[in-house]
Amino acid sequence: MITVTRLAKVYSQAGRDIHALAGVSLEVPAGSVHGVIGPSGAGKSTLVRCLALLDRPTSGTVEIDGVDLAAVPAGQLRQARRRLGVVFQHANLFDSRTVLDNVAYPLEIAGVARRERRERALELLGLVGLADAAGAHPAQLSGGQRQRVGIARALATDPDVLLCDEPTSALDPRTTDEILDLIAALKARLGLAVLVITHEMHVVKRICDTVSLLEGGEIAESGPLAAVVGAFGSRLSESLLALPGELVDGDVDVLDALTPGREPALEATARALGAAPRIVAGTVETLGGTTFHRLRLATPPGFAPGALVTALTAHGAHAQEVAR
Ligand SMILES: Nc1ncnc2c1ncn2[C@@H]1O[C@H](COP(=O)(O)OP(=O)(O)O)[C@@H](O)[C@H]1O
Ligand SMILES: [Mg+2]
């Protein structure tokens, strides 16, 4: 479990204070993945640096299983860092070392005996599906394989927390999904608390149990995936279930979080009105275990948008007339 409490980081530049992080609090229990998503300049990299102990926060605490990392004396930072593995956008492997020796590197630093390092590294390579590549050099691997090596290396010191900074931003869509599925599998198998920093909605949808929107150094929205998506009109909801197309006055935006046993609001509404609204744009997705209908409907001829909104709402959906 990683607990971040009122974390702040102020940079001074040319006599001016820049509040890169302005009191960020979040919690990631063991065996779950938390995504932090945010635009450029939001403070994502600063958060990673503070959590990875590469930078000292101005105030606030970072605790792993109750141990306050910010209070660790400088001389013990290396030891404290072992509780947290970091995966970067690029694996940054040593080209001159074999895959095995790359994975064993953190153990070498920690003074683990050669034979034990080798055994542990082989075990980790098996865990990430690269047992056969132990003797290869990084240059012989694909981007996805290199990232697997990076993940194995991050796990070498048996950390409780895995911090992933844009782990798939340099990968193609198929390799991205392979790496995301690997991270999800490792979370379950090793009981890791995983924190993923990303700008990709796809990453959030595929592996995150909970998600935060970071903006201007503050958490603007946060919660379990189904809850943030179900908050109609919230920024995360709009981004995670984005609809294409132009907005037209008189159309109606709908978010229907389906609950077992209830008829979807669109069908119930069509029956109640005796007229079927036309779907202008729509997506059906299951996120965090809840299936969502995100629709934009054209009001049927002879009805006012307000009547459509009222009917949809009466049948359990969120609905609102499009306002351009
Ligand atoms: N070393 C630094 N010195 C001064 N300002 C910085 C430094 N690092 C980051 N910042 C500022 O802090 C804010 C957050 O930056 P950053 O964490 O890199 O955001 P992100 O990774 O989300 O794009 C930005 O306004 C950035 O200019
Ligand atoms: Mg950044």
Residue 53 lies in a domain: yes
Whether 225 and 254 share a structural domain:
no
Domain boundary among the residues 203, 229, 255 is at 229
Handedness of CA 195, 196, 197, 199 (dihedral sign): negative
| 155 and 200 housed in the same domain | yes
Give domain status of residue 317, yes or no: yes
For residue 85, the cross-strand partners are 162
Q: Tell whether 29 and 178 lie within a shared domain.
A: yes
Q: Are residues 179 and 312 in the same domain?
A: no
Is-above-0.85 flag for pTM? yes
Is residue 235 one of the residues assigned to a domain? no
- The alpha carbon of 271 and the centre of ligand 2 are apart by a number of angstroms equal to 50
Q: Which among 12, 17, 45 is the best mutation to test ligand 1's pocket, defined by most ligand atoms within 8 Å of the CB?
A: 45
Atom of ligand 1 nearest to the CA of 48: 17
pLDDT at 69: 80
Say which ligand is closest to the CA of 42. Answer: 1
Measure the CA angle with vertex 236, ends 144 and 179; round to 5°. Answer: 10
Question: Which run of H or of E encompasses 33?
Answer: strand 32-37
- Number of structural domains (the chain) is 2
Look up residue 183 and give its DSSP letter. H
224 shares its domain with 270:
no
Measured in Å, residue 44 CA sits from the centre of ligand 2 at: 5
Closest ligand 1 atom to 38 CA: 22
70 with 191, same domain: the answer is yes
Say whether pLDDT at 77 is over 90: no
How remote is the CA of residue 54 from the centroid of ligand 1, in Å? 14
- Whether 151 is in a domain gets the answer yes
CATH classification of the domain holding 289: 3.30.70.260
- CA dist 198 and 27 (Å) reads 17
| Domain contains 279 | yes
Three-state SS at 238? helix
Q: Report the nearest-CA residue for atom 16 of ligand 1.
A: 43
Please give the Cα distance from 195 to 35 (Å, whole number). 6
Q: Are 199 and 43 in contact (CB under 8 A)?
A: no
**Same domain (yes/no): 167, 33:** yes
Per-residue pLDDT at 104: 97
CB 287 within 8 A of CB 225: yes
Q: Alpha-carbon distance 76 to 74, whole Å?
A: 5
Confirm whether 237 is domain-assigned.
no
**Token pair 């860092």 is at which residue?**
81
**pLDDT at site 70:** 73
- My answer on whether 63 and 175 are in the same domain is yes
Q: Report the pocket of ligand 1 as residue ranges, CB < 6 Å.
A: 11, 13, 18, 20, 38, 40-46
- Among 202, 229, 256, the domain boundary falls at 229
Provide the pLDDT for residue 76.
Answer: 82
- Where does residue 98 rank: exposed (0-12), middle (13-18), buried (19+ CB within 10 A)? middle
Q: Which atom of ligand 1 is nearest to the CA of 214?
A: 22
Q: Note the helical H segments in 216-264.
A: 225-230, 235-240
Q: Is there a domain that residue 238 lies in?
A: no
* Distance from the alpha carbon of residue 64 to the mean position of ligand 1, in angstroms: 25
Residues 223 and 248 in one domain: no
pLDDT single digits (tens) 79-111: 788 899 999 999 999 999 999 999 999 999 989
Single residue among 229, 251, 286 that ends a domain in this structure: 229
Asked if residue 134 and residue 38 are part of one domain, the reply reads yes
What is the Cα–Cα distance from 302 to 73, expressed in whole angstroms?
72
106 and 131 both lie in a single domain = yes
Q: Give the Å distance between the CA of 88 and the centre of ligand 2.
A: 11
Looking at the domain assignment, is residue 63 inside a domain? yes
Of all protein residues, the one whose alpha carbon is nearest to atom 11 of ligand 1 is: 20
Q: What is the domain extent for residue 77? A: 2-229
C-alpha–C-alpha distance, residues 33 and 54, integer Å: 22
Judged against a pLDDT cut of 80, whether residue 78 lies above it is answered with no
Query: What's the confidence (pLDDT) of residue 305?
Result: 96
DSSP state of 162: E
Do 225 and 251 sit in the same domain of this protein? no
Residue 82 CA to ligand 1 centre (angstroms) = 26
Cα 159 to middle of ligand 2, angstroms: 24
Kindly state the average pLDDT of the residues 31-56. 93
Which of 46, 54, 56, 163 maximizes ligand 1 atoms within 8 Å of its Cβ, making it the mutation to test the pocket?
Answer: 46
Residue among 204, 241, 242, 200 nearest 225 (CA)? 204
Report the atom number in ligand 1 closest to the C-alpha of 43.
17
**Which of 50-54, 87-91, 189-193 shows the lowest per-residue confidence on average (mean pLDDT)?**
50-54
